[in-house]
Amino acid sequence: MSVWTDPADLRKWALGIEVTKASGTLAAETKALFTVSGRVMVTSFYGVVTTAITVANSFKLQHNPTTGATSDLVAATDIGTTDTPIGNVVGFSGVKTASIVHGPGSAPTLTAGLVMTAGSIEQVSAGTDGAITWYLTYVPLDASATVVAA
C-alpha cells in the first residue's frame, strides 16, 4: 500500500514554517523583509527574481536585532551589472563573508541553521530596478517565537 505525504507537510516537518515576502521594486534603501519575535532557527532562505535586475546593485541581507548591533547575513554583492533575469534563484550559504549566488533555476541555501533573536531581517539595496520574492523557513526556539513578513 502506498502512502502519499502532502508536500507542504513534508517541507514543514523537514525545514519548519515557511514565510514569504515580495520585495517590491528594489530601491536604494534599507527595507525590512521579515520581523522576528523571540529566538528562531532559520533553516532556509532564498529568493526568486520576479522582475529582472538590470542596473548595478550592491545588495546584501542583514539581521537588525532589537538589542545589539546589526549583523550582515551575507556580503554585499553586485546582482545587477550582469543582469539577473526573471526566474533566477538567489541564495547564500550563511557564511557572512560569502557572496550572494544566483542562477537560472537553482542557487545554494544555508549550509547550517542561523539562530536569530528578536528584530528584523532587512535587505540593503543600492540599485533601483528589479524585484525578488523571498522565501524563509524557520523553527521556533522559544515557545511563542515567530517570523512574519514585515
Please state the pTM of the whole predicted model: 0.92
> What average pLDDT is seen over the chain?
93
Looking at the domain 15-143, which fold is it? Answer: Jelly Rolls (2.60.120)
* Contact status, residue 128 vs residue 29, Cβ threshold 8 Å: no
pLDDT in tens, 29-58: 999 999 999 999 999 999 999 999 999 999
What confidence score (pLDDT) does residue 2 get?
Answer: 67
Domain ranges of the chain: 15-143
